[in-house]
Amino acid sequence: MPEFDLGLLLKQFLNGASFVLFLILIAMGLSIIFGMMGVINMAHGEFFMLGAYVLLVVQDAGGSFWLGLFLAPIVVAIFGWAVERLVLRRLYGRYILATVLATWGFGLILRQVIQLIFSATPREIVGPISGSLHFLGITYPAYRLFLMGMSLLVVLGVTILFNKTRFGVWARATIQDQETASALGVNTSRMFQLTFALGSALAGIAGALMSPLISVTPGMGIDFIVRSFFVVIVGGLGTIVGVLWGGVVVGEIESISNIFYPPTVSQAVLLGVVIVFMLLRPRGIVGKMG
Amino acid sequence: MTTCAISKRVATFLGIAALVIALAPPVSQGAEKPIRIGVLFPLTGPLAPAGQNARKGIELAQENINKKGGILGRKVVLIFEDDKAEPPVAAERARKLIGQDKVDFVMGTGSSATTNAVIPVTERAKKLFIYTFEGEKKACQRYVFTSGGTPYQALSAFVPYYVKNFGKKWYFVGTDYVFPHSVNAQVKSQLKELGATVVGEEYSPFGTTEWSTVITRVERTKPDVLFLAAPGTEGITFFKQAKNFGLDKKMAITGYPTFLASFYPAFQKDVEGIVSPELYTETFDHPANKEYSRLYHAKYKTPFPIDSLATSAYIGLHLLKAGVEKAKSIDRKKVKAALEGITIDTPVGEMHVRASDHQPKMRGFITKVINGKFEIVAKTPQLLDPDTCKGRWGKDKSALK
């Protein structure tokens, strides 16, 4: 065990906090789509990947990181919207596995199409900020701090959207009672379109933001989707507060046990805790019991 | 209504089946019949980047050989199957290639696990099999040959060089599966001989995306050298994050196979200046390599350097060609006898196939990335013996060196 060292403690705190915020950023879209629509979007990882590839295309064409970051959520939102219109719309009201299968299949297709176009070779995305910041006696990578800030912005933006806007009111009305909302003039079909596009856009922006820190390949979403599901399940299905709780629990368990054990062991620890958690609180931390 | 739908589906199926049969090429007769080679690569799944590169190499070899009149005047036909890097799939695809496609030879795969699954199939069907990947000690069988080197060949000259130039305290980070463990075991045994020390060693599962805690631990341990045995995604992600933390300014970072040219598209400027072991580099000044490099870039128009996986697949087909031409037959016993002890000229220079265990003797290179090119800083003066293969045949004393 490392001896007491304030700088190290702060650094490990930031390591844990950044991991938590990355997880929240990645899981947010998944949770919103589930919470609003009851759809488990198995293509979430592929939308995440698509966001990174939009950035790659912009970068290859000579565009800046910021342009790519701006375009990624837009392009992925259009994709998500198209999937909702063409496929998912026809499956609402059926057994939940129908949408699981449809989105899973769509994810597979998307991954292979990207591999056909860009090949399976891992690609590089150059981050816009290099170097480190010095503060409180430690140095920490600037881009990681930027990512943490962006994640907080996304959480803030989504919270405002659902609590302070007309879209939010309609959205909450649709969740509570679709028929009544519809009778009162809310276009619920449109709400579903917008929600799926929003969830997709969040996946896209997460992929673009994470891409300078990871290996960009057609299969990159797979490594992230598993933890996203952990976050959503542990936190409680379909609420923003749930995502925050899930991110904190999943991220901190893995980060803290990573300090003391090799990564292989700490991932096993995480899985064990998630399983026990599921047994004790199947609806997650903020989920209503019963 | 239901019956109508079903019969419609059956009709569609029959229609498609008829179309497939009608469009299938007629089986050609006579001596000009092409030589059919079944190729198993992981074209999708986690090893897809490696499999796709290997496919490029072998297709280039096919084109090159066919343009020059084929093998014994017969055209070479490659039939690809995707083994998905899964042993049961590899075995099943190998059976399909042999039983259904009637291939004369089998080549390929992307890992020891899939190779070990394919070998029993080719042995039972009496087919010669050429393994085209570099990897740890390989399975020995009488009818199995190898065109790729082993970590031993890549590392034996590299480790002493790196200790001499960069220091004696080494820290190991790897992905948690067989290959990185065996690479690190190789390096560690060399370090012991050199009087260097291992100050840390840890492995992380496949798919690890967050490395900050490990990076902080490595930083605190203050090694001279950080050695990464993490191929592909994990190694790339680790190095990007480590660079972000400025780890590369505090210690020398190298690794195998993390920094192979295969992964250059994911690193680019980030690996400028990295010194690492390679079994192939495009900058090797050799006529066969110049020709290979020219053909490759003409066909694939890629700005990235050619890697050793494409090259060992390219060499594999040329090795088979040399064997068949020397044997003047595609009979597997004759080809086996012809290949034993053969020396061929390849893009990596001269390569000699040991008669005892069918493994190639070849050079190892130490490269440094300068302006995006893997420039040679040192190479082994003579061909290196690989470590011996393992398996039933390998235990036979006469098969060992």
CA distance A70 to B333: 63
Å between A122 CA and nearest CA of chain B = 5
**Chain A residues within 8 A of B213 when measuring between CB atoms:** 12, 15, 255, 258-259, 263
What token pair was written down for B76?
Answer: 């070479």
ipTM of the complex: 0.88
Strands (E), B22-168: 35-41, 76-82, 105-108, 128-131, 144-146
**Chain A residues within 8 A of B208 when measuring between CB atoms:** 223, 263, 267
**CB-based contact A217 B49, cutoff 8 Å:** yes
The order of strands in the sheet holding B76-82 is B76-82, B35-41, B105-108, B128-131, B144-146
CA distance B355 to B399: 8
Å between A86 CA and nearest CA of chain B = 23
pLDDT for A87 beyond 50: yes
Interchain contact B177–A (C-beta under 8 A)? no
Interchain contact B337–A (C-beta under 8 A)? no
CA distance A209 to A196: 20
pLDDT on residue B384: 83
* Residues 352-381 in B contacting A (C-alpha not used; CB under 8 Å): none
Count CA atoms within 13 Å of residue B156 on its CB side: 16
Nearest to A132 among B214, B234, B246 (CB): B246
- Asked if B383 and B401 count as a contact pair (C-beta separation under 8 A), the reply is no
Burial A115-151 (b: 16+ CB within 10 A, else e): beebbbbbbbbebebeebeeeeeeebbbbbbebbebb
Note the pTM of the prediction, 2 decimals. Answer: 0.86
Strands (E), chain A: 132-135, 138-141
The bridge status of strand B275-278 relative to strand B365-370 is antiparallel
pLDDT on residue A212: 95
**CB-based contact B213 A12, cutoff 8 Å:** yes
Sequence-distant (≥ 6) Cβ neighbours of residue B382 within 8 angstroms:
B363
* Average confidence score pLDDT of chain A: 90
Q: CA-nearest residue of chain A to B217?
A: A259
**CB-based contact A144 B44, cutoff 8 Å:** no
pLDDT on residue B388: 65
Interchain contact B268–A (C-beta under 8 A)? yes
**CA-CA distances (angstroms) from residue B34 to B93, B108, B320, B329?**
21, 19, 14, 13
Å between A218 CA and nearest CA of chain B = 10
Q: Which residues pair with B227 in a beta bridge?
A: B172, B254
Q: Which residues pair with B344 in a beta bridge?
A: B351
Of chain A, the percentage scoring pLDDT greater than 70 comes to 97
pLDDT on residue B162: 96
pLDDT on residue B393: 47
Interchain contact B58–A (C-beta under 8 A)? no
Strands (E), A39-170: 132-135, 138-141
CA distance A226 to A179: 34
Containing H/E element for B343?
strand B343-346
Q: CA-nearest residue of chain A to B206?
A: A223
**Chain B residues within 8 A of A217 when measuring between CB atoms:** 49, 233
pLDDT on residue A288: 58
pLDDT for A261 beyond 90: no
**CB-based contact B244 A213, cutoff 8 Å:** yes
**Chain B residues within 8 A of A223 when measuring between CB atoms:** 207-209, 233
DSSP codes joined into one string, A218-264? TTHHHHHHHHHHHHHHHH-TT-HHHHHHHHHHHHHHHHHHHHHS-HH
Q: Which residues of A touch B (CB under 8 A)?
A: 2, 8, 11-12, 15, 18-19, 22, 112, 115, 119-124, 126-127, 130, 132, 139, 141, 143-144, 212-220, 222-224, 226, 254-255, 258-259, 262-264, 267
Burial B365-392 (b: 16+ CB within 10 A, else e): bbbbbeeeebeeeebbeebbbbbbbebe
Of chain A, the percentage scoring pLDDT greater than 90 comes to 56
Sequence-distant (≥ 6) Cβ neighbours of residue A258 within 8 angstroms:
A266, B213, B214
pLDDT on residue B170: 97
Tell me the three state secondary structure of residue B235: helix
Instruction: Kindly report the number of other CB atoms within 10 A of residue B82's CB atom.
Output: 18
- Asked if B178 and B136 count as a contact pair (C-beta separation under 8 A), the reply is yes
Nearest to B213 among A120, A141, A255 (CB): A255
Tell me the three state secondary structure of residue B307: coil
Interchain contact B213–A (C-beta under 8 A)? yes
**CB-based contact A212 B240, cutoff 8 Å:** yes
CA distance B7 to B26: 30
| pLDDT: which is higher, B386 or A232 | A232
Nearest to B240 among A139, A213, A262 (CB): A213
- Asked if B71 and B65 count as a contact pair (C-beta separation under 8 A), the reply is yes
Chain length of chain B: 401
pLDDT on residue B401: 30
A119-149: pLDDT as tens digits: 888 999 999 998 899 988 889 999 999 999 9
DSSP codes joined into one string, B8-51? HHHHHHHHHHHHHHHHSPPPP-STTPPEEEEEEE--SSTTHHHH
Nearest to A143 among B207, B234, B244 (CB): B244
CA distance B387 to B401: 9
> For the CA atoms of chain A, what is the radius of gyration?
19
**Chain A residues within 8 A of B48 when measuring between CB atoms:** 115, 120, 218-219
Per-residue confidence of chain B (401 residues) as pLDDT tens digits?
Answer: 444 445 566 666 655 655 555 555 544 444 579 999 999 999 987 788 889 999 999 999 999 999 999 999 999 999 999 999 899 999 999 999 999 999 999 999 988 889 989 999 999 999 999 999 887 666 678 899 999 888 888 998 999 999 999 999 999 999 988 889 989 999 999 999 999 999 999 999 888 889 999 999 999 999 999 999 998 889 999 999 999 999 999 999 999 999 999 899 999 989 999 999 999 999 999 999 999 999 999 999 988 999 999 999 999 999 999 999 999 999 999 999 999 999 999 999 999 999 888 889 998 999 999 999 999 998 887 888 877 665 544 443 333 33
**CA-CA distances (angstroms) from residue B231 to A211, A220, B256?**
18, 15, 8
| pLDDT: which is higher, A184 or B104 | B104
CA distance A26 to A30: 8
pLDDT on residue A108: 94
